[in-house]
Structure 1
């Protein structure tokens, strides 16, 4: 299934997008200005391209504090004009380099192991990325497409200003079309999983797109590239990660450690003799070492550390 491509926007379009970017990041931005920006965005598909380029540039600078990388966002006068020129030059450079990936892992939005982040997309939809996640965005005049390359995302859709432009998430196994909704998508080995929190989605496997499964609020589905799984109740804790929590309700210790390992750099394993112990609780994902220490108090286990990046839970 081919993905739509975003062509390079013109300098005039980039300039307009930069001006809107600066306006929306001003501390005194009004609701009326937000509406005017949405009107501008919806007036021409080329505006969407230009806005996507500025958003991508902002993400490329995400490692630098905004007040350092773009000090002009909250300033006026000469400083603002100089900043506008600088951002426009950078955006044009990003356009020239857009076709070149510096590595197989370079994507529009990404998180490192243990990192989570939130992104606002050009249409106002919100995207939350879980640990070790990679996403590309491909918006055009016909559709809004989010390509999940790795990891897990939570999507909260916004009303689009362009008519009849659906929002979908594409995974290696197929497509998930939003029907005005909030839903979680996670890549598993050879499978994709979706949990719907609000409204509904439609799932189409990649190799059998004629098979469509509607997944309603409170339901979950796991599917492969050629087949659909059975609908099941969505777990209440499927999006706890957005709050920085891992919630376990009578989990096997082996499953718990496997999930915890997603958020820790290095190796975290579990010995077979303790894998079937049961565990319940809500655990803070920003303190993995604290979780491991508490396991030794609540369960008959010890954590053996061979290095900072190698740990194993044993009897």
Structure 2
């Protein structure tokens, strides 16, 4: 009397089951225990209440999906904005229109400098400024 319901397609299970009649009897006892437990729990009001409570406690999936979609939208928007910002930047060394000298003040010295684009720099004591003008804007470091 071979009973193979449940794991009938599992080759390891079939090999174990075929190894001896004792395995077959053990499998039959295990199935009987599961059937009795299922029958006893089927009519148990406490088990039914627990089952209903567990089903009611499950949170719906859509809030999680909505949260994930919102996070993805924010990340994509940030990436698109960053790409637009950085791709529009010109590198001063590559598209430099005019190279200006380095402006330096010594300790205790102050100086005002006006650049060709109209930018005014007020240099305080012990300051160094490198300036490069590009076609789009002045870049200062």
TM over 0.5: no
Q: Higher helix share goes to which structure?
A: 2
Query: Which entry has the higher C-alpha Rg, 1 or 2?
Result: 2
Q: RCO greater where, 1 or 2, for CA within 8 Å and sep 6 or more?
A: 2
Which structure features the higher share of strand residues?
Answer: 1
